[in-house]
Amino acid sequence: MKTAVTELLGIEYPIIQGGMAWVGEYHLAAAVSEAGGLGIIGAASAPADIVREQIRKARELTSKPIGVNVMLLNPNADEVAKVIVEEGVEVVTTGAGSPAKFMEMWKAAGVKVIPVVASVAMAKLMERAGADAVVAEGMESGGHIGSATTMTLVPQVVDAVNIPVIAAGGIADGRGFAAAFMLGAQGVQMGTRFVVAKESIVHDNYKQKVIKARDIDSEVTGMSTGHPVRQIRNKMTREYLKLEKEGATFEELEYLTLGSLRKAVMEGDVVNGTLMAGQCAGMVTKEQTCRQIIQEIIQEASALLNK
């Protein structure tokens, strides 16, 4: 399937794996790339040497292009940005700010830069800064979210910029893929569906929570702090929302979630851990390999788009 995104990134299918903290590590990233999509290592707040190690381990598993997601608020972002160049990473996705200060270095090294945006204004700003494409992420997605839905955000971003747009948020199957293309996107980014991939190191407790999730099991915490996060409801979200209602300070709320994502991913704590997942979790019903996931989506989408 050829689109502006497959041509830009040198991949077979226009499917990008979200750069999820703790989840997007080298096993998953390499498996997605090997299956024809673009696997992304989520650098999150990791030190540069850990990111370098992850890149090298992914390279041992695939010779196909891989990407790294850089959270620009990461105190190690400057060092991670250099590691990306030194290790010859093909693609960078960015979140939590503007990558403008790294753009010249990355572009000189031939790195394709794809910021994740939640508004038209940010998309236009990123295009002016030299981005090769943007991921327009709707609030249906898991993790940190904006306020616009995928259905409304994607076409407005498509109309506003001249670079390829990748749709994200609420996409878990061929129907969502086809819908994204109808809105003008040239590719999709998915996170939740890959959380339950066989190659994902996510604890089985977490995977089962996603697989068993219903349409009403999605919860957004942090609205009062200006940092909303979408996840599957559990004891922790109930406590968090109660504290928010009672007017707890940002520090009190932060303390409640300290290390909670790692607890969920690595230890399988589905009671007090943060189970980041999008509203599409109710559509994710089985564990499959990355290759099976991608093939199933492409077959279903192709049948719909060629009707």
Residue type, 210: V
Q: How long, in residues, is the chain?
A: 307
Which tokens belong to 104? Answer: 């010249």
Q: Average pLDDT in the 78-106 region?
A: 91
> Residue 227: pLDDT above 90?
no
Q: Give the predicted TM-score (pTM) of the model.
A: 0.93
- Tell me the average pLDDT across 200-228: 93
Q: Residue range 184-193: average pLDDT? A: 96
Identify the pLDDT of residue 179. Answer: 96
Banded pLDDT at 84 (limits 50, 70, 90): very high
Averaged over 124-139, what is the pLDDT?
95
pLDDT at 128: 93
- Closest Cα partner for 46 from 15, 25, 30, 27? 25
Mean pLDDT of 141-168: 95
Which residues are registered as beta bridge partners of 165? 134
The residues, any chain, with a CB within 8 Å of residue 258's CB and separated by 6 or more, are none
Return mean pLDDT, the chain: 93
Q: Is the pLDDT of residue 151 over 90?
A: yes
- Residue 257's pLDDT band (boundaries 50, 70, 90)? confident
CA distance readout (Å), 55 to 29, 94, 115, 191: 9, 16, 19, 19
Cβ burial 209-242 (10 Å sphere, 16+ → b, else e): bbbebeeebbbebbeeeeebbbbbbbebbeebbe
Q: How far apart are CA 40 and CA 89, in angstroms?
A: 10
Condensed to tens digits (0 to 9), the pLDDT of residues 62-71 reads 999 999 999 8
What tens digit of pLDDT does each residue of 285-296 get? 999 999 999 999
Could you tell me where the DSSP H helices lie in 189-268? 192-195, 204-212, 235-245, 250-257, 260-262
Are 111 and 92 a contacting pair, CB within 8 Å? yes
Average pLDDT rounded to a whole number, residues 224-243: 91
Residue 114 has pLDDT above 90, yes or no: yes
